[in-house]
Structure 1
Amino acid sequence: MARKDWLTGKGPLSGNSRSHALNATRKKWNLNLQKVKVTDDSGKTYTIKVSARTLRTLKKEERANA
């Protein structure tokens, strides 16, 4: 499961990079994956890969629940 967000399932995007002359070359936009340790309700700790956007959301929810 390379280059995929573990929680949201989002993967890399692909498309064309366009030059000034409108030449098209294939381009790939990878996620900004971060390793993070998450503890579930039973107290078990997991190391998962999530995108930076998902990590922000996790921290936001953590502040709201605290």
Structure 2
Amino acid sequence: MARKDDLTGKGPLSGNSRSHALNSTKRKWNLNLQKVQVMDENGKVMTMKVSARTLRTLKKNNAIVK
């Protein structure tokens, strides 16, 4: 399964790791994925993988199920 946010579709970013001598090697920044239970507009509870940034938005909108 891909490391993607189930709600927003955001995935990992890629780039270069730079040393002091400016040598470059490829690297990847993964998302901080968390498993949460979310209630949709019909009242159905689903388990999703969302990023920590999306989790903050869900908590702000009271969409998280305890």
Place the TM-score, normalised by the shorter chain, in its bin: 0.7 to 0.9
Count of residue pairs brought into register by the alignment: 63
* TM-score normalised by structure 2 residue count: 0.88
Question: What does residue 16 of structure 1 align with?
Answer: 16
Q: What are the ranges of 5 or more consecutive residues in structure 2 without an aligned counterpart?
A: none
Percentage identity across paired residues of the two chains? 78
> Over residues 7-65 of structure 1, what are the superposed CA-to-partner deviations in whole Å (9 max), with x where a residue is unaligned?
111000000000000000000000000000011122211100000000001111229xx
For the pair 1:25 / 2:25, whether they are aligned, the reply is yes
More helix by share: 1
In 1, Cα distance between the equivalents of 2:26 and 2:36? 31
**Secondary structure, counterpart of 1:58 in structure 2:** helix
State the 4+ residue runs in structure 1 displaced beyond 6 angstroms.
none
Q: What are the ranges of 5 or more consecutive residues in structure 1 without an aligned counterpart?
A: none
**Secondary structure, counterpart of 1:4 in structure 2:** coil
Superposed CA RMSD in Å reads: 1.4
